[in-house]
Amino acid sequence: MGVGILGSELHDGACGSLGEHPTMDLLPLRRPPGDLHTPRVLLSLLSDESPRVYGPVRRQLLKLGKTAHPALRRATRSEDPLLRARAREILLEYDREKAARKLVRYSLRRDHSLGEALSRLDQFIDPELDPRPYRRAVKAMGSAVRKRLRRRSSTPAGVLSDYLFGERGFTGTDDDGPMPGHASLARTIECRRGMPLVLCALYAEVAEEAGIRVDLLPVPGHVVLMVRQETTDQILDPFGDGELIEHKHVMGYLEANKLPLQEEWLVPAPSTAMFLRHTLNTAACFQAIGRRGEVRRLARVARVLARHPATPQLPV
């Protein structure tokens, strides 16, 4: 038999169907040694490309909780990119579940601070976030506004707008599509761009630090700020470049967007109602990128807030 024929037979054996080689025995599949529920064994299966393997392995690692964390952290330094990515994803999912439980506990409180609520939602979006630098930034901005109030004859609403938009550049985001980062107060402080409710919350936090009384008006899709003043209150639109507007502008917005012309949109909303609204906003951002687990976790928070005595029946 020539070499060419032997080579041909090897080639056919490699590429032909198994039925053509009845004498060829398949090696039995072997599972990794040891208890299948130990982190070490589960990690050996984590980079399996089959969803039928990865799904159960992922669920079991999540079920193990902190017991699996040392092995998962080691896996985040693996040379296998798929193993690294999946280990990081499971750790992130665990941290978000932990953050969601804290959010539920906070939701059960009698009273809520909107700034604190958004800070806790930030830690759900990014569990590694340290909120302290952002709190210091809010305090510093509040101090700056307070100093300007002493020096200027402008109204509190005017000073607030001039500083936060005019000097600091905070305004509405022009990014396409909802992303979880858009719902983040911390990201808004960093990028100086944000959603209407987040910007209103930031303005409100800074105003409180400066001694200015404000309320949020729950206009559908475009929350605005009511600044309380000695003579006459003013409505400020943080999303719209900090513009000072009137009631008629809000009513015009509602009419233009075919929304019901209801006076309750101009009645201050409790912080709990705004907390619920922003929880749903954040869930919608996660839903837009297909993160169903995060949506389910935030839905648990929303259900608690929806039953809260301080939550009026407002569209969100």
In this structure, the answer to whether residues 148 and 244 fall within a common structural domain is: yes
What's the total number of domains in the chain? Answer: 2
Domain holding 82, by residue range, is 34-93
176: pLDDT confidence band, cut at 50, 70 and 90? low
pTM: 0.79
> Quick one: average pLDDT of 130-159?
93
261: pLDDT confidence band, cut at 50, 70 and 90? confident
CA dist 228 → 96, 182, 211, 218, 231 (Å)? 37, 28, 11, 16, 9
In this structure, the answer to whether residues 54 and 178 fall within a common structural domain is: no
Please report the pLDDT score of residue 177 as a whole number: 63
> Quick one: average pLDDT of 153-174?
92
Please report the pLDDT score of residue 165 as a whole number: 96
In this structure, the answer to whether residues 57 and 172 fall within a common structural domain is: no
In this structure, the answer to whether residues 142 and 267 fall within a common structural domain is: yes
Task: Sort residue 221 into left (φ over 0), alpha (ψ -120 to 50) or beta.
Answer: left
In this structure, the answer to whether residues 51 and 125 fall within a common structural domain is: no
Average pLDDT, rounded, for the chain: 85
- Whether residue 3 lies inside any domain: the answer is no
- Whether residue 253 lies inside any domain: the answer is yes
In this structure, the answer to whether residues 156 and 282 fall within a common structural domain is: yes
**Domain termination site, one of 93, 128, 144:** 93
Strand stretches in the chain, DSSP E:
171-172, 193-194, 214-217, 224-227, 234-237, 243-245
- Whether residue 264 lies inside any domain: the answer is yes
Cβ within 8 Å of residue 26, ≥6 positions away: 18
List pLDDT tens digits, range 223-255. 999 999 888 899 999 999 999 999 888 888 988
Strand stretches in 16-154, DSSP E:
none
Residue 101 has pLDDT above 70, yes or no: yes
Cβ within 8 Å of residue 316, ≥6 positions away: 276, 277, 280
In this structure, the answer to whether residues 212 and 282 fall within a common structural domain is: yes
168: pLDDT confidence band, cut at 50, 70 and 90? very high
- Whether residue 161 lies inside any domain: the answer is yes
Higher pLDDT, 2 or 260: 260
DSSP 310: T
Dist. CA 298–CA 290, nearest whole Å: 14
Please report the pLDDT score of residue 2 as a whole number: 42
Please report the pLDDT score of residue 40 as a whole number: 83
- Whether residue 294 lies inside any domain: the answer is yes
35: pLDDT confidence band, cut at 50, 70 and 90? low
- Whether residue 210 lies inside any domain: the answer is yes
Tokens matching residue 87: 């280990």
In this structure, the answer to whether residues 78 and 132 fall within a common structural domain is: no
Q: Which helix (H) or strand (E) holds 41?
A: helix 39-45
Helix (H, G, I), strand (E, B) or coil at 243: strand
313: pLDDT confidence band, cut at 50, 70 and 90? low
In this structure, the answer to whether residues 170 and 78 fall within a common structural domain is: no
Helix axes 292-306, 114-125, angle to 10 degrees: 160
In this structure, the answer to whether residues 179 and 300 fall within a common structural domain is: yes
In this structure, the answer to whether residues 43 and 154 fall within a common structural domain is: no
When mean pLDDT is compared across 56-65, 204-213, 243-252, 305-314, the lowest value belongs to: 305-314
In this structure, the answer to whether residues 123 and 60 fall within a common structural domain is: no
Sign of the alpha-carbon torsion through 132, 200, 181, 286: positive
Backbone φ and ψ for 263, nearest 5 degrees, come out as -65, -25
Q: Which of 222, 258, 228, 261 is nearest to 240 (CA)?
A: 222
41: pLDDT confidence band, cut at 50, 70 and 90? confident
Please report the pLDDT score of residue 217 as a whole number: 95
Q: For residue 56, how many other CB atoms are within 10 A of its CB?
A: 13
C-alpha Rg value of the chain to the nearest Å: 28
Please report the pLDDT score of residue 36 as a whole number: 59
- Whether residue 25 lies inside any domain: the answer is no
CB 112 within 8 A of CB 301: no
CB 123 within 8 A of CB 103: no
List pLDDT tens digits, range 108-128. 999 999 999 999 999 999 999
- Whether residue 57 lies inside any domain: the answer is yes
> Quick one: average pLDDT of 129-141?
95
Higher pLDDT, 291 or 153: 291
234-237 vs 171-172, strand pairing mode: unpaired
When mean pLDDT is compared across 65-69, 293-297, 298-302, the lowest value belongs to: 65-69
